Amino acid sequence: KLKDFPKDFLWGASTSAYQVEGAWNEDGKGLSTQDMLTPPENTTDFKVASDHYHRMKEDVQLFAEMGLKAYRFSIAWSRILPEGRGKINQKGIDFYNRLIDELLKYNIQPIVTMFHFDLPWSLAKEGGWINRSIIEDFKDYAKILFENFGDRVKYWLTINEQNMMVLAGNLLGTKTSKNLQETYQQNHHMLLAQAEVMRLCHEMLLDAQIGPAPNISPVYPATNKPEDMLAAENWAALRNWLYLDACVKRIYNPTAWAFLEEKKILPNMKKGDLHILKAGKPDFIAFNYYNSTTVSASLPDDSVKYDKYDKKKMISEPGVYEVVENSNLPKTPFNWEIDPVGFRIILRQLYDRYHLPLLITENGIGLYDELDEDGKINDDIRIDFYQQHIMEMQKAMTDGVEVLGYNPWSAIDLVSTHEGFRKRYGFIYVNRKEFDLLDMNRIPKKSFYWYQKLIRENKVP
Ligand code: BGP
């Protein structure tokens, strides 16, 4: 017998500022790295995106029609502080005040990501997270957010997918490192900044909750050979536990640390850094789940393997692990493996390890959604994906895991980080093409009505 969802379960949906807002240079917004990075070949840029900046009221009304109890979105740092620090852009503050007030009009809880891959360009070009001074910049930025929005925003997320920025090899949205020691130095500064901001949040906002938002994936061994299991443990430490142990247990995961030490890519630490790490504590763990990962052992003299889609992304470490395909799992049209049971597994692993409430901030499937002849989008594949994943989440809750809410990626079609506008995740279709804006009208998909029914009945249809 499955446990019912709590009455106050936060059924939400997610977006990020640079992927949904557009208005890239309007109302005083400063440049971010996403305005300066060259988009992947043959994909659109972020200048217009879904034009949410101008259509915000209409979009929030649609979120309310869907019945959302929460909406996870990010604040663009360079809308608030165009230069990353110093002068505040009041029009940026005004936009997010309007958005938050609009959400609260419909009793939709705002869940705010403070930094989602869009570092202000003026900070990035000075070296971004490589400079220790950015810790103060992030704290000052956080203080402005807490001062202006802290009276209405009860859920805060520090950094979106810090682990993916580090592991993607080029630190998505921040300064590209010239070597891995610099990468893990940037990571160290992000960990310190996160800890400082969690402490500041608890000092300034008595009834707010704050946590990290990494991308977490359970790691399976390719076979039951002990060396494959060891490789899986290695990768789990480097991909997941390095980030969450530092945030939650406030220590560097010993196995990950030993790996960095052996490779001579340890971050330079200052006296007091561990004290800073210990001073911040999360109230919950938010995380993004897309799929599980399977690894096999690799020999010390094996060559480094790279992701066949993202040539810069290492998917192996000779003598430590090698990511391999899991032939037991179906795949999305973009070749991502689909693993609903993996979702139940990781929910249990996270709860067993940290005993903190969990909040899902991304889960979804990218599809080539198309308007059919009567102008509808029958995204049955997406409905099936959510049906399976929500069922496994409910099983995990029945297994005893405390889950605060579920925010699928994405509330509305927006620009994919790798595949532009052709790869759609939304419950709401945006009528534009990769390079042809058309009328940008919003059209609820079949999954919109499915999710609406699920939320209304508080159970899986
Ligand atoms: C996550 C990011 C989201 C979104 C999602 C889908 O890593 O946090 O911003 O991009 O991935 O990925 P993609 O857009 O590449 O399909």
Give per-residue pLDDT as tens, 410-422.
Answer: 999 999 988 999 9
* ipTM over the 0.95 cut-off: yes
Single-letter amino acid, residue 319:
G
Kindly list the distances between the CA atom of residue 10 and the CA atoms of 98, 108, 225, 231, in Å, as whole numbers in the listed order: 21, 9, 41, 36
To test the pocket of ligand 1, the residue of 417, 419, 422, 425 to mutate (highest count of ligand atoms within 8 Å of its CB) is 417
Ligand 1 within 6 A of 16 CB? yes
pTM (predicted TM-score)? 0.97
Task: Report the candidate in 317, 167, 314, 307 with the shortest Cα–Cα distance to residue 242.
Answer: 167
Say which DSSP state 70 is in: E
To test the pocket of ligand 1, the residue of 21, 118, 362 to mutate (highest count of ligand atoms within 8 Å of its CB) is 362
Q: For residue range 292-336, what is the model confidence (pLDDT) as tens digits?
A: 999 999 999 999 998 887 777 788 999 999 999 999 999 999 999
Strand-pair category, 321-324 with 442-444: unpaired
Which residue(s) pair with 296 in the sheet? 322
Kindly list the distances between the CA atom of residue 267 and the CA atoms of 2, 123, 240, 339, in Å, as whole numbers in the listed order: 46, 20, 18, 34
**Residues 326-344, buried b or exposed e (16+ Cβ, 10 A)?**
beebeebeeeebbbbebbb
Strand-pair category, 219-221 with 321-324: unpaired
Q: For residue range 188-239, what is the model confidence (pLDDT) as tens digits?
A: 999 999 999 999 999 999 999 999 999 999 999 999 999 999 999 999 999 9
Say which DSSP state 265 is in: -
Helices assigned H by DSSP within 168-311: 180-204, 226-236, 242-244, 254-262, 273-279
Query: Following DSSP, what letter does each residue of 388-439 receive, concatenated?
Result: HHHHHHHHHHHTT--EEEE--B-SB---BTTTBTTSB--SEEE---SS--TT
Looking at ligand 1, which residue's alpha carbon is closest to its atom 11?
A: 417
Q: Which of 362, 392, 402, 434 is catalytic?
A: 362
